[in-house]
Amino acid sequence: MGFKMGIVGLPNVGKSTLFNALTRTAAAQAANFPFCTIEPNVGEVGVPDARLDRLAAIAKSKQVIPTRMTFVDIAGLVKGASKGEGLGNQFLANIREVDAIAHVLRCFEDGDVTHVEGRVDPVADADTIETELMLADLESIEKRRANLVRKLKGNDKEAQQQDRLLAAAQAVLEDGQPARVVEVNAEDAKAWKLLQLLTTKPVLYVCNVGESEAAQGNAYSARVAEMAAAQGNSHVIISAQIEEEISQLEDDEAAMFLEEMGLEEAGLDRLIRAGYELLHLETYFTVGPKEARAWTIRQGTLAPQAAGVIHGDFEKGFIRAETIAYDDFIACNGEQGAKEAGRMRAEGKGYEVKDGDVLHFLFNT
């Protein structure tokens, strides 16, 4: 699995420019990070990870297959979207399908680019979008609770759980807070996720700054950073203008351009890494002469469930995982060297997979 990130924003904040630039950048990295268009507003990219290339070089792998990530350019967001303004219904349906929201905020001055509200205020823009999502959630909750009345009279346990969780969400929303602030216990976690409330999605604020401000940000992005920290969300500084220029360059030229701009990496890399941190994701690898491949899992995933990401049969028939830490694989120059140095471990069902682990699963068919 990779993950799906929806890109939202008010008109003229650079949302579509960023989406187009990111997906073209991925297309340009065709050797290791293939890109394909699923729909006009959906782009799937390979997740850049230098570790995968190093592993493949040592194992002389014929194929290098990165893990995948999907960007969804979500259209139709204007004030009143929760009531169907713009492409409101389509916008809300698309957000329900993503794992996280990348909220693009205008943090640049440009007299040639008009702002829909006639001013540059990224915090107010963020509030507009959050308000629309909260209003949509409130309307959805009221309808759902009304539909549960009959089942509640019949003492339906599942309906009682749903209604309790919906009531908790409704209370915080009516208090002007998103549903993600509700504390949910482990027993309710699955039912809570199935509610698919828009404001439970983690938010990554993308500060779209001018070209000269891409390295350090500016006063606008500093305000967004404060807001994100207060909310427990994340932020990243990107210049859509720079990303657009990078997307037109060859790899060597892009590297030189980034260096001139004082940037260590492209915005795609920073955005993906921030998304992984936001969703508490990590990567493990399978490596051999046929292919070197990256797999995405949530932090804390146990070995059988990690195996299940490859195939359900691997999880069902799991016996053990032959495990080599990434640093050991590199230091020992591959699997055989790691074995000889005693750095390969046999881990059972209770093993919590670590970021960078190189795994080989043994299972019963």
Are residues 191 and 317 part of one domain? no
Confirm whether 243 is domain-assigned. yes
Domain count, the chain: 2
Range among 20-24, 124-128, 264-268, 285-289 rated most confident:
285-289
The phi, psi pair for 52, rounded to 5°, reads -60, -40
180 within 8 A of 200, measured Cβ to Cβ? yes
Find the CATH number of the domain harbouring 142.
3.40.50.300
Given a cut of 80, whether residue 26 has pLDDT beyond it is no
Are residues 179 and 67 part of one domain? yes
Are residues 8 and 52 part of one domain? yes
Confirm whether 150 is domain-assigned. yes
Greater confidence (271 vs 165) lies with 165
Are residues 331 and 208 part of one domain? no
The phi, psi pair for 294, rounded to 5°, reads -100, 145
Q: How many CB atoms lie within 10 A of CB 300?
A: 10
Are residues 110 and 157 part of one domain? yes
Please tell me the predicted confidence (pLDDT) of residue 95: 81
Confirm whether 290 is domain-assigned. no
Find the CATH number of the domain harbouring 314.
3.10.20.30
- What DSSP state is assigned to residue 48? P
Given a cut of 80, whether residue 148 has pLDDT beyond it is yes
Q: Could you tell me the residue range of the domain that residue 325 belongs to?
A: 300-363
Confirm whether 285 is domain-assigned. no
Are residues 127 and 193 part of one domain? yes
Please tell me the predicted confidence (pLDDT) of residue 25: 52
Are residues 316 and 190 part of one domain? no
Confirm whether 159 is domain-assigned. yes
Are residues 232 and 108 part of one domain? yes
- What does each C-alpha distance from 92 to 88, 106, 192, 200, 306 come to in angstroms? 6, 21, 18, 13, 32
Q: How far is CA 302 from the centre of its chain?
A: 21
Confirm whether 295 is domain-assigned. no
Confirm whether 288 is domain-assigned. no
Are residues 166 and 47 part of one domain? yes
- Residue 286 CA neighbour count, 13 Å, CB half: 16
Are residues 261 and 324 part of one domain? no
Share of the chain above pLDDT 90, in %: 53
Q: Write out pLDDT tens, residues 47-95.
A: 888 999 999 999 999 999 999 888 888 765 556 555 555 444 566 777 8
Are residues 350 and 273 part of one domain? no
Confirm whether 283 is domain-assigned. no
pTM above 0.85, yes or no: no
Kindly give, in sequence order, each residue whose CB lies less than 8 Å from that of residue 183, ignoring residues fewer than 6 positions away: none
